[in-house]
Amino acid sequence: MGDLSGYHLSDNPFPEIPVIDPFVSDIRRNGEIFHAEIFRKEIEGLVIKTAQGLNVIYLAGIQFDKGIGKSALMINHMRSLRKSEGVTCAYVKCGERDKPRDAARKIIEQWHLSGYLWESFKTAFTEFSVVKHDPFLAPDAVAALFKANPGLPSRLPLNLYTRVRDSLKIAESFSAWASTKVGVKAEDLVVFFSDYLTTPSDFPGSIKKKSLDILQVYEAYSKFLISFGYKRHYVFLDQFEDMVMGTTKAGIGKFALEVKGLIKAASGTTTIFVTLHPNSETMLNVPAAQDMTGLAPLDAVHRINVMILDVKGNSAIGLAEEYFKRFRVGDPPYMTYPVEPALLEFICYLKQGRIRDFLLQLHNALEYGAMNRFPELTLEYACQHPLDVLGREISPRDIAGYHKYRGEPMAPEPTGRSWGGAVKGFKETNKPL
């Protein structure tokens, strides 16, 4: 990696692997760096549709399969909703081999890891100890237990604070009581309660057992959370399109039926956000998928169209600035230094407005420039090293196409016009801010 201090940067601001993951600490990849203005319309639509309490909201890309910012938009919205009182947020990254049942299990895991299940469990078990009137499970002892274990513990020392010696028996009694209050089957809560009364860290492994009807268990836990402390669930199924595309045409009916079960399991209390791209939407827009799309139609009511970067405006500059300022050291000559604003816009044009490709190319360009100790990444430098700075060879026709797309005048190119002349004309039209 080249030394970027000469660029007034502590590190390369742009991700080497521009795939977003909210669980990593690197702000370049976890979605923390987010330029809201380029998604202003999409954000406004998400806020309105979320307030309406829709069962499913599709974040749909209409031009490209990948790399336009659907995941970043989803994660930003999730972070906003997490600030609300009395709600749960569960983020799941779907894979091609996943089925809706796998998504249900992963949602439960997120409820567990985020501490939502633990908070509801404490509330419910405290209430249970009060109404139980069992000297072996005194309410003050339970209160002391949870005061000593406010957060989700790996092991719960129940027998150190109470006189309970048979945790499974208490779990069964607790399940019978809670199931009546929640309106679910007691057997769907036993695994949950027995693990939480002994070793909560075992819980993720316990719900992977094939004997469990995971959709039924998901419904039980969803209702349990609503009954004891929460009022609304927000579920985020990122890369949902991959799960759709991993389904065969013959299997789309079963897939849609399972998604229907996922939607109906928490009907009225849950909004599920999913990402889609054009091919996956085509897969779902068939009669065999009616079990899903009948409940959550692929219409304007349920969808947010996620657009590419506006290559005619300055959205590329604004996005780059958001990354640059997080790693800025000292006082640079201009906000996007060492990359000329005009070059940022040209790279965005060449990448057709795809955010992922745009960020990756900037990462590579900065590394190349630093290693070769070039003081500034200008259009002229990019034209001299097109593969390294722009990721491809370019020609005067590319520059002419760029001007035409932006609606900018450009003098007709005479026969034999030099490459240097084309570059000079481009730079005169696109002077740095």
Q: What is the chain's pLDDT, residue by residue, as a tens digit (433 residues)? A: 568 999 999 999 999 988 899 999 999 999 999 999 999 999 999 999 999 999 999 999 876 667 889 999 999 999 999 999 999 999 999 999 999 999 999 999 999 999 999 999 999 999 999 999 999 999 999 999 999 999 999 999 999 999 998 999 999 999 999 999 999 999 999 999 999 999 999 999 999 987 889 999 999 999 999 999 999 999 999 999 999 999 999 999 999 999 999 999 988 999 999 999 999 999 999 999 999 999 999 999 999 999 888 776 688 999 999 999 999 999 999 999 999 998 999 999 999 889 999 999 999 999 999 998 899 999 888 888 898 899 999 888 888 888 887 777 654 443 333 444 445 555 555 444 3
| 84: number of Cβ within 10 Å | 12
The pLDDT score that the predictor gives to residue 400 is 84
Q: Please state, in angstroms and rounded to a whole number, the distance separating the CA atoms of residues 235 and 90.
A: 5
Q: Please state, in angstroms and rounded to a whole number, the distance separating the CA atoms of residues 364 and 381.
A: 14
In a domain, residue 24? The reply is no
Residue 25 structure tokens: 């600490």
The residue type of 95 is G
Torsional sign, CA 241, 246, 248, 251: negative
Taking the alpha carbons at both ends of the chain, their separation in whole angstroms is 29
Q: Are 123 and 212 in the same domain?
A: yes
Q: Are 236 and 222 in the same domain?
A: no
Q: Are 297 and 341 in the same domain?
A: no
In a domain, residue 365? The reply is yes
The pLDDT score that the predictor gives to residue 417 is 35
Pick the closest to residue 243 from 426, 104, 35 (CA basis): 104
Domain boundary among 260, 278, 306: 306
Q: Are 120 and 223 in the same domain?
A: yes
The pLDDT score that the predictor gives to residue 68 is 86
Q: Are 245 and 222 in the same domain?
A: no
Q: Are 294 and 382 in the same domain?
A: no
State the total domains in the chain.
Answer: 3
Domain that holds residue 271: 36-86+231-306
Q: Estimate to the nearest angstrom the gap between the alpha carbon of 209 and the chain centroid.
A: 27
pTM of the model: 0.90
Sheet hosting strand 303-306, strand order edge to edge:
87-93, 232-238, 270-276, 56-61, 303-306
Q: Please state, in angstroms and rounded to a whole number, the distance separating the CA atoms of residues 285 and 280.
A: 9
The pLDDT score that the predictor gives to residue 376 is 93
The pLDDT score that the predictor gives to residue 185 is 95
How do strand 232-238 and strand 87-93 relate by DSSP bridges? parallel
In a domain, residue 320? The reply is no
Q: Please state, in angstroms and rounded to a whole number, the distance separating the CA atoms of residues 171 and 184.
A: 15
The pLDDT score that the predictor gives to residue 30 is 95
Bridge partners, 238 (sequence order): 93
Q: Are 69 and 134 in the same domain?
A: no
